[in-house]
């Protein structure tokens, strides 16, 4: 058996104290293997977003252990967690989070700029990433000149430009219409299948969760269900170069 990429053991998260104390996570055990595509579901307040923040090294557990590639993340300093994020984790958000007056190329280069890579390396890597999401030739366009679907592809290119071990996608289709949502899911499936990138996706949409190989459901700070999806949607590779870019 392979060693898990991610392991949570007895992870809790407490906010506040006394009468205002809130236990967002109440002892979570979770293993994620390399190359998995996992959908994380649950109602508002279930703890799924808190868990994703911990997995993304944006927050730390109140107790318990978080192992990433065998390293105890809960014991790392803030700077060490930041370095782990920059090297191993890509993020995709519902709101795209692109810089408005900055070109697609420059938006995708940002993680490499923070990492200290040279301009030549940044430019080449960003060009490859944009091509991989079907936006070759769109490098100079700003977000205002792109559709919502195209903006999310830029965001995905930015997430994968560092060649991360895992992409954390938080409601990646929440701002898109049905057709664009399925295009983005087809792209995530292709990145997972063809490049071996582990994908963890928070979603409240059953038809989007159906693309995942595994579904983890949070309720009231616990994992209520963790089950394989026997029939994940195996989207055919989406030809982004020839599909309608609207």
Q: On the CB side of 90, how many CA atoms lie within 13 Å of its CA?
A: 28
| Domain span holding position 209 | 33-62+78-228
The predicted-structure confidence for 160-195, as pLDDT tens digits, reads as follows 999 999 999 999 998 899 999 999 999 999 999 999
- What is the pLDDT, as a whole number, of residue 1? 59
Number of independent structural domains in the chain: 1
Residue 14 lies in a domain: no
Bridge partners, residue 214, by sequence: 38, 228
Q: How far apart are CA 207 and CA 244, in angstroms?
A: 22
The answer to the question of residue 13 being in a domain is no
Residue 182 lies in a domain: yes
What is the pLDDT averaged over residues 33-56? 95
Q: How confident is the model over 133-145, as a mean pLDDT?
A: 95
Is the pLDDT at 98 greater than 50, yes or no? Answer: yes
Q: Is residue 212 part of a domain?
A: yes
Residue 50 lies in a domain: yes
Q: Is residue 196 part of a domain?
A: yes
Q: List b or e across 8-24, with b for residues whose CB sees 16 or more CB atoms inside 10 angstroms.
A: beebbbeeeeeeeeeeb
**Residue 100 dihedral angles phi and psi, to the nearest 5°:** -65, -40
Q: For 70-94, what is each residue's pLDDT tens digit?
A: 999 999 999 999 999 999 999 998 8
Is residue 105 included in any domain, yes or no?
yes
Burial of 53 (0-12, 13-18, 19+ CB in 10 A): middle
The pTM (predicted TM-score) of the whole model is 0.90
Mean pLDDT of 91-117: 93
CATH code of the domain containing 167:
3.40.50.300
> Is there a domain that residue 8 lies in?
no
pLDDT tens digits for 2-33? 789 999 999 999 998 888 889 999 999 999 99
Residue 246 banded pLDDT, cuts 50, 70, 90: very low
pLDDT beyond 70 at 36: yes
188-235 confidence digits (pLDDT tens): 999 999 999 999 999 989 999 999 999 999 999 999 999 999 999 986
């Amino acid at each position: 058996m392979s060693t898990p990429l991610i392991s949570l053991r007895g992870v809790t998260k407490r906010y506040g104290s006394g009468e205002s104390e809130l236990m967002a996570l109440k002892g979570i055990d979770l293993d994620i293997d390399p190359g998995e595509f996992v959908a994380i579901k649950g109602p508002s307040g279930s703890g799924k977003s808190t868990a994703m923040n911990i997995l993304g090294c944006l927050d730390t557990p109140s107790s318990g252990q978080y192992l990433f590639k065998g390293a105890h993340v809960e014991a790392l300093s803030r700077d060490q967690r930041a370095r782990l994020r920059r090297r191993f984790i890509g993020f995709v958000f519902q709101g795209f989070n692109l810089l408005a007056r900055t070109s697609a190329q420059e938006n995708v280069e940002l993680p490499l700029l923070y990492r200290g890579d040279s301009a030549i390396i940044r430019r080449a890597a960003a060009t490859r990433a944009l091509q991989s999401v079907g936006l070759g030739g769109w490098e100079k366009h700003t977000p205002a000149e792109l559709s919502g679907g195209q903006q999310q592809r830029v965001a995905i290119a930015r997430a994968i430009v560092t060649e991360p071990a895992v992409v954390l996608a938080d409601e990646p289709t929440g701002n898109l219409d049905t057709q664009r949502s399925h295009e983005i899911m087809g792209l995530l499936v292709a990145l997972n299948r063809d490049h071996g990138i582990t994908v963890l996706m928070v979603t409240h949409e059953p038809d989007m969760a159906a693309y995942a190989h595994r579904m983890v459901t949070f309720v009231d700070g616990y994992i209520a269900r963790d089950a394989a999806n026997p029939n994940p949607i195996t989207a055919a590779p989406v030809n982004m170069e020839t599909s309608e870019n609207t």
